[in-house]
Chain A
Amino acid sequence: MTPLLTCKEFIAELADFLDEKTDAEIKSKLERHIAECPNCWVICDTTKKTISVYKGMKACSIPDDVHSRLMAAVERKMAAKKA
């Protein structure tokens, strides 16, 4: 039986684990680790939620004045290019 991962090893793999990029063997080791280590389970679960709350953050609709000034700048550029 393969030895359990340490917490340090678990955290080092966490980003790939959450992105589902780990290969099957490492994945099963990681799953075994969180099944037995409540602290790492919490870290894994809350990091996953961290990513998901940010994913849900909508791109701010751009302020009208910022949009207008951008369009004006681009139009000037286009006019200069044509001239």
Chain B
Amino acid sequence: MILQAAGAGSSGYSPAFVLIPRIEEQEAWENGKSPKMATESVSLAAAAEVPEEVRAELELVNRAREGDATAFSTLIRQYEGKIFRLAMNITQNREDAEDVLQEAFLKAYEHLDQFQGNSKFYTWIVRIAVNQALMKLRKRKTDRTVSLDEQIDTGEDTVVREIAAWDPDPEERFSRDELNAILTEAIDGLTPIYRTVFTLRDVDGLSTEETAEALDLTVPAVKSRLLRARLQLRDKLTRFFKRKGDDAFAYM
């Protein structure tokens, strides 16, 4: 109900900022150039440079490797929510997301030897999860109706369609559930690569470099996708968040 009501007042202001040529890699990415499994080990940093948090996780991993079930459960509890949300964002399907979650932790358990403790456990397991989630998407693509949103690329996906100032704290107009619904719907409207990059970088808080590593993309490729994802989300959210007075029909 809220979605309909707020969408009704869109002003259709359309300055044509057409930006940044499309990058071919998206196609390759979506057509099966899969990010590598997180199997290679990273070079061992000197122990003194490893942050305390990472060292504590390595300790948990070592205990899990030796058969301590509680240690692995601790890691699961710490990251299952983030992995599940990521999987939901990429697959947009609860059943697939649950599969991804299980496969990610099972594979991580199997390959614990390969975790060297040079980065956070999350940046290691997230690569496995992303890989699993993308495989789900590819599998699904072959047996479902093609979605126009995902297939058509006009090369103008960084067009800024609507320019209207927002309230200083636009999210306060909505309850938490309403806000979550709005934010989720906006993310779901992005193509898979954009929502994946955005989720890793801006929702999960990975660095650009970590995101690039998780997706097996170059840093510039992550940056250009991130920009487009942010601009597209901004456009979608403007419907809900723009300052009331800026809409000529807001009083109706």
Residue positions of A touching B, CB distance < 8 A: 7-8, 11-12, 14-16, 18-19, 39, 42-43, 45-47, 49-51, 53-57, 59-62, 66-67, 69-71, 73-75, 77-78, 82
Contacts and interface: CB of A to CB of B under 8 A. Distances in A.
Contacts of A16: 223
Most chain A beta-carbon neighbours within 10 Å: one of B67, B69, B230, B233: B230
16 contacts: A8-B19, A12-B19, A14-B230, A14-B231, A39-B15, A42-B163, A45-B166, A46-B234, A46-B238, A51-B202, A53-B170, A55-B203, A59-B85, A60-B88, A62-B80, A69-B102
Contacts of B188: none
Interface of B: 15, 17-20, 67, 69, 72-73, 76, 80-82, 84-85, 88, 98, 101-102, 105-106, 109-110, 158, 160, 163-166, 170-171, 179-180, 183, 198, 202-203, 205, 208, 223, 226-227, 230-231, 233-234, 237-238, 241
A53 B198 CA distance: 13
B82 A12 contact: no
Nearest to A49: B166
Contact of B230 (A12, A45, A50): A50
A66 B98 CA distance: 7
Nearest to B19: A11
A42 B248 CA distance: 18
Contacts of A51: 202, 230
Most chain B beta-carbon neighbours within 10 Å: one of A11, A42, A46: A46
A50 to B, nearest CB: 4
A49 B20 contact: no
Nearest to A66: B98
A46 B166 contact: yes
4 cross-chain pairs, A with B, having the tightest CB-CB distances, nearest first: A59-B81, A15-B227, A50-B234, A47-B234
A43 B19 CA distance: 14
A47 B228 CA distance: 11
A34 to B, nearest CB: 13
Contact of A78 (B69, B158, B223): B69
A39 B13 CA distance: 11
B163 A39 contact: yes
Given A62-B80, A62-B84, 19 more contacts: A11-B231, A12-B19, A12-B227, A15-B227, A16-B223, A43-B231, A46-B234, A46-B237, A47-B231, A47-B234, A49-B170, A54-B233, A66-B84, A67-B80, A70-B76, A70-B101, A70-B105, A78-B67, A82-B67
A5 to B, nearest CB: 13
A74 B105 contact: yes
Given A15-B223, A50-B234, A70-B102, A7 B82 contact: no
A12 B203 CA distance: 22
Contact of B171 (A53, A60, A67, A70): A53
A46 B235 CA distance: 9
A69 B180 contact: no
A19 B209 CA distance: 13
A10 B135 CA distance: 36
